[in-house]
Amino acid sequence: MFTRSLGAGGELRPLEVWHAAEFADHLDRAREHVRPWVGPSFVTDTVDGARATLRRYADGAAADGARLCGIWSGGRLVGGVMFVSFSAAAGSCELGCWLEPAAQGRGLVTAAAGLLLDWALDERGLHRAEWRCRADNVRSAAVARRLGMTLEGTLREAWPYRGTRHDQQVWAVLATDRPAR
Ligand SMILES: CC(C)(COP(=O)(O)OP(=O)(O)OC[C@H]1O[C@@H](n2cnc3c(N)ncnc32)[C@H](O)[C@@H]1OP(=O)(O)O)[C@@H](O)C(=O)NCCC(=O)NCCS
pLDDT at position 179 is 85
Q: From the CA of 98, how far away is ligand 1's center (Å)?
A: 9
pTM of the predicted structure, to 2 decimals? 0.98
Q: Backbone dihedral region of 84: left (phi > 0), alpha (psi from -120 to 50 degrees) or beta? A: alpha
DSSP classification of residue 121: I
Edge-first strand listing for the sheet containing 10-14: 4-7, 10-14, 67-73, 76-87, 92-99, 128-134, 164-174, 150-161
Whole-angstrom distance, CA of residue 94 vs CA of residue 129 = 5
**pLDDT tens digits for range 159-173:** 999 999 999 999 999
- Name the residue of 110, 131, 133, 169 to mutate for ligand 1: max ligand atoms within 8 A of Cβ: 110
**pLDDT tens digits for range 16-46:** 999 999 999 999 999 999 999 999 999 999 9
Whole-angstrom distance, CA of residue 113 vs CA of residue 23 = 19
pLDDT at position 31 is 98
pLDDT at position 1 is 80
In this structure, the residue with its CA closest to atom 14 of ligand 1 is 107
Q: From the CA of 115, how far away is ligand 1's center (Å)?
A: 15
pLDDT at position 180 is 79
For residue 148, what is the enclosing H or E element?
none
Q: Which residues of the chain have pLDDT under 50?
A: none
CA distances from 71 to 11, 76, 82, 108, 135 (A): 6, 8, 11, 8, 25
Give the closest residue to 109 by CA, choosing from 65, 142, 149. 142
Burial label, 145 (beta-carbon count in 10 A; 0-12, 13-18, 19+): middle
In this structure, the residue with its CA closest to atom 5 of ligand 1 is 104
DSSP classification of residue 89: T
pLDDT at position 169 is 99
